[in-house]
Amino acid sequence: MTLKFTAALFTAAALYVGTASAQTSSLNAICSTDQSWCEMAAKEFTKATGINVNQTRKATGEALAQIRAEAANPKTDIWWGGTGDPFLQAAEIGLLAPYRPDYLNDLHGWSVRQYAMTQNMVGGFYTSAIGFGWNTELLKKKKLPAPQCWSDVIKPIYKGEVEISHPASSGTAYTILAGLVQMMGEDAAFEYMKALHKNVTQYTRSGTAQAPNVAKGEVAVGISFIFGFDGWRHNKYPVATVAPCEGTSYEIGGIALVKGARNAANAKRYYDWLMSPAGQSIGAKANSLQSPANKTFKPDPRIPSMDKVRLIKYDFEKYGKSAERRRLLERWNKEVGALSK
């Protein structure tokens, strides 16, 4: 009896230790950058550390909605990649945990400024500019010129030829919306978007859709981050890109720990690895060509230079506020989204 009881107790203890070990060797993540980067990063981190990454890919708007819905009982430990404005909104409403890494000197200034702006709740993960990508063969077939400016893509010749994402679900589209408002003035920007609406064939859920759709000839012109189109161009697809001649907005992709995370220690390890040269270099290996935050390694030469891009002075603090985002989205839905095609 005693021996049987001792054996049973030992077995139960072993099972408990095994379960506890499994619980402490995993983390839950949301990734909002390109799917290929999300998958490769999780795989390489697990290979390097033995920590299992339970990760889903969601557009930033959808990720913010999920983390907000789970606020009372967080199921996500870390959120990384994707446009920074939704991260700033999450920080503003108290959904994120502060973390100030001890390697800030390894990061570019634009990355470090995101920490300062959010009381260390959001870091700058990468940066890239908004632009146009087009399928060169499709434009030639349709005898259409390549667009060079914002004023081009609203011309009647591009009716049904332009694709862009939806600002309610896509941080990319919100970056475009907020950028046009800052560049043109709000009323003029909304008049512009009404004109653009006439040419848009569809509003996709995610801003990562435009590059593959253009590359595969499913649409002639896409409006999104330039790096996405360039990835396909380097893979020999008939794609060309340009930054709009009048000027353009840009993103600083975010990375953050979720407040109340169940696997905080493992999430912090994943965070630090993603910000290291090993983690940052995964982007280009996965054909995702944003400019990395870490400046201590040589970036992939395929990453598009932003030196000649006419960047606007994007006000991340103002347009990263949840109330401002909500106001602009409500106006967009009322004045643009409600229009018939």
Same domain flag for 93 and 226: no
What residues form DSSP beta bridges with 163?
202, 222
Report the pLDDT value the prediction gives residue 198, as an integer from 0 to 100: 97
Q: Is residue 48 part of a domain?
A: yes
Its domain, for residue 237, covers 130-250+322-337
Q: Is residue 182 part of a domain?
A: yes
Same domain flag for 198 and 326: yes
Same domain flag for 40 and 71: yes
Q: Is residue 19 part of a domain?
A: no
Same domain flag for 222 and 138: yes
Report the pLDDT value the prediction gives residue 341, as an integer from 0 to 100: 64
Q: Is residue 282 part of a domain?
A: yes
Same domain flag for 205 and 331: yes
CB atoms within 10 A of CB 55: 20
Instruction: In whole angstroms, give the CA distance from residue 32 to residue 63.
Output: 8
pTM: 0.81
Q: Is residue 315 part of a domain?
A: no
Q: Cβ(273)–Cβ(49) under 8 Å?
A: yes
Same domain flag for 327 and 198: yes
Report the pLDDT value the prediction gives residue 308, as an integer from 0 to 100: 86
Report the pLDDT value the prediction gives residue 315, as an integer from 0 to 100: 94
292-325 pLDDT, tens digit per residue, is 999 999 999 999 888 889 999 999 989 989 899 9
Same domain flag for 57 and 117: yes
Report the pLDDT value the prediction gives residue 307, as an integer from 0 to 100: 83
Same domain flag for 221 and 110: no
Q: Is residue 277 part of a domain?
A: yes
Report the pLDDT value the prediction gives residue 325, as an integer from 0 to 100: 93
Same domain flag for 61 and 154: no
Same domain flag for 256 and 229: no
Q: Is residue 90 part of a domain?
A: yes
Instruction: In whole angstroms, give the CA distance from residue 161 to residue 134.
Output: 10
Q: Cβ(144)–Cβ(219) under 8 Å?
A: no
Number of folded domains that form the chain: 2
Same domain flag for 108 and 55: yes
Q: Is residue 316 part of a domain?
A: no
CATH number of the structural domain spanning residue 281:
3.40.190.10
pLDDT beneath 50: ranges in the chain: 1-23
Same domain flag for 255 and 229: no
